[in-house]
Structure 1
Amino acid sequence: MKLALSNLALKADVSQDYLRTLRSRGISGIEVAPTRIAPWEELTNDVVDRYRATLAEADLVVPSLQALLFGINDAQLLGDEAAFDIMATHLKKVARIGTRLGANVGVFGSPRNRDRGNLEVQAAWELGRERFGKLARLVADEGFSLGIEPVPEFYGGNFVDTSDAVIQMVDEVGHEGLCVHFDTGCISLGGGSISDAIQTAGDRLAHFHIAEPKLASLRNPSIDHADAAKALKAINYDHWIAIEMLEPAGTASDDVLFSVDYAVKTYA
């Protein structure tokens, strides 16, 4: 199992000792939300290289990115040409940051940036397929890919918001720059079966999140993670699995290590 932890769960000034502790408990990668390193405009090559080197000192790599469009509110998948151009330009930058960090996939969640608005369902689908295709080709040129996440209504999703829709979109675009990403929290909150989704996706599944609703820790899980782990094993899943949770507050700081231990025990 290749297990990562989102840097959303880490303090901004995380120490080398703590990173080494994560490594000793079974974490071998850190999934990066880039603005947890620095604001977009400050993510220079030197800043990115220093972050990668810091992780490397603890024998950790960066397999993936998330929060790709955080703060880029004018970027719209289904908006006018200008809004889509903003998205394309930004994701080109994200892909370069990702590959410089060593990552080859980014989680495309961002429900506000893919809002369907007033578009009819079929019109939105056709436009989305065309534009996902453009984005796939764009990021693939940098050695990167976008993993579409099925974001449910609970998080404001209204376009490609189910596992079946993600699979269909990836199949119709048919390009290596676009892949299937599943999240236990998103699929559960959308009313789907994570086990069924995994089995349907099969070898199209390229990235996976262990997550609870609202990105809570795994201390009191509401999702059947054992069932998800069983399904992943059944399809011989061999890509990265990332724990997605927010940095705990106050006295709950040990929830990160608890969650890591739980994930190792459940998914290994």
Structure 2
Amino acid sequence: MRDSWMICGQKFALSNLCWPIEEDRAALRIIRALGYRGLELAPFKVFGGWDGVTRADVANYMDFAASEGLSVIALQGILFGANLDPIFLGPKARLALLKHATHVARMAGEFGGLPCVFGAPGLRKLLDLSASEADRIAIPLFRELGSIFKDQGSILVLEANPERYGCEYVTKTGDAVSLVGEVDHPGFRLHVDTGTVCINEENDEALEAYVGTAAHFHISEPNLDSLSITNPRHRQFGDILRSSAYADWISVEMKQPVGDWQTCLHRSAQVIEAYYDVQPGH
């Protein structure tokens, strides 16, 4: 079996969740050598917090990534470490979210205007609200968030999080499609995550219907495990992406493994090359 792979496509990225921050330069060199062109950032991991992150800090990290041949293409984990309460707890919780989102949107704008993934399953507890009651709160909230991000030249992208992750609101990709449609704001768009699709056993026909409307796309496994060449759905996902109108970055998301993170990176490239990369005749 081959022990190295090379991605040919121009718009594949990898999240920095997969390696220890002290190995950042080594990891960037590995992923660029594997053919990745983009880097998705969890800002808290890079900067160690939210307060006091300056425009110069952002510019310095962009220069650092560029020196290794990579572009910063998206932000994730944007609510991690912000000590926020669930959005349905009350107006005070939502005001705190809006205040924090202003910082994130500014940062995303300074990075060049990036999609920012809204996940945070713990903030999406229904707290005894019905689905319709939650929608009445969420729709204007996400519309306001969309305006905050659009004003900075970036977008907030909504990720469905399955119940397995402790989420109670927007747990299926179809739910995210519906909410994005109800909010109807250019600063608030759909994000698709294959781990969620797999956990929920969402069908290919549904994915085909909405993937072309997405603004961001994660290739992941359930529980953010390392990508597996034996997961049969990756071939289906790759075929759907290539035949769709989706033309933005495709980002691999994996948690840092207990063992060898370098092997995790190499195996991700194996999956990308086998199932998602540019194919003959495409």
TM tier relative to shorter chain = over 0.9
Task: Give the counterpart letter for 2:250 in structure 1.
Answer: I
Q: 1:137 aligns with which of 131, 141, 147?
A: 147
- RMSD over aligned CA atoms reads 1.8
Distance in 2 between residues matched to 1:73 and 1:190, nearest whole Å: 29
Please show how residues 191-206 of structure 1 align to structure 2 within 5 Å. 191-193=201-203, 195-206=204-215
Task: Give the counterpart letter for 1:147 in structure 2.
Answer: V
Contact 1:61 1:102 in 2 (8 A): no
Aligned length: 267
CA drift at 1:202: 4.3
Instruction: Give TM-score, length-normalised by structure 2.
Output: 0.89
**Which runs of 5 or more residues in structure 2 are unaligned?**
1-8, 278-282
- Report sequence identity in percent: 31
2:104 corresponds to which residue? Answer: 94
Please show how residues 26-105 of structure 1 align to structure 2 within 5 Å. 26-38=35-47, 39-105=49-115
- Once structures 1 and 2 are overlaid, which stretch shifts more, 103-112 or 71-80? 71-80
CA drift at 1:71: 2.1
1:118 paired to 2:149: no
- Once structures 1 and 2 are overlaid, which stretch shifts more, 170-179 or 246-255? 246-255
Please show how residues 149-188 of structure 1 align to structure 2 within 5 Å. 149-188=159-198
CA drift at 1:249: 2.8
CA drift at 1:102: 2.8
* Residue aligned with 1:179, SS: strand
Contact 1:76 1:87 in 2 (8 A): no
Spell out, residue by residue over 1:139-197, the C-alpha distance to the aligned partner (whole angstroms, 9 max, x if none).
1111111111111101011111111111111111111111110111012112312x233
**Which runs of 5 or more residues in structure 1 are unaligned?**
none
1:22 corresponds to which residue? Answer: 31
Question: CA 1:202 to 1:211, structure 2 compared with 1: closer, same or farther past 3 Å?
Answer: closer
Task: Give the counterpart letter for 1:257 in structure 2.
Answer: H
Contact 2:43 2:76 in 1 (8 A): yes
* Residue aligned with 2:71, SS: coil
Distance in 2 between residues matched to 1:75 and 1:260, nearest whole Å: 37
Instruction: Give TM-score, length-normalised by structure 1.
Output: 0.93
- Once structures 1 and 2 are overlaid, which stretch shifts more, 215-224 or 64-73? 215-224
Contact 1:68 1:108 in 2 (8 A): yes
* Residue aligned with 1:4, SS: strand
Distance in 1 between residues matched to 2:79 and 2:273, nearest whole Å: 30
1:247 corresponds to which residue? Answer: 256
Contact 1:147 1:206 in 2 (8 A): yes
